[in-house]
Amino acid sequence: MNTILLCILGGGIGAATVNLLDNLIQKLMERSGKHMSKIDKQVNALWESQRFMMLDKIVTMGNRFVESGSVTFSELRVFNEMYQIYCSKLEGNGDAETIHDMVNSLSVVKE
């Protein structure tokens, strides 16, 4: 139960951060005609750090699931949601693909 709660909280925090960054970037893009180089660098640094944090979370969770040999449906759902955010919103570079495939090949067990 603690694992599920941690997965949900971790995934929720990651998703909220991605949405916050996405909104921030959209607002910055709307401001035309102003020099935003310092803010652009800061936003890019936040974006990169969030991508690496999500990659670390995905790999850490995935390794734990692989070591246990199984995953619950809830854990798998959260894991796949995080992976999709990492790939689509954060433009992940495929570093998590192997662990993603390994986790999705595991047996799904009851909660």
pLDDT of residue 68: 96
pLDDT of residue 26: 73
Domain ranges of the chain: 2-29+36-109
Q: How far apart are alpha carbons 39 and 98 in whole angstroms?
A: 35
Which helix (H) or strand (E) covers residue 12, if one does? helix 2-30
pLDDT of residue 27: 73
Q: How far apart are alpha carbons 24 and 108 in whole angstroms?
A: 38
pLDDT of residue 39: 79
Q: 45-87, pLDDT tens digit by residue? A: 888 999 999 999 999 999 999 999 999 999 999 999 999 999 9
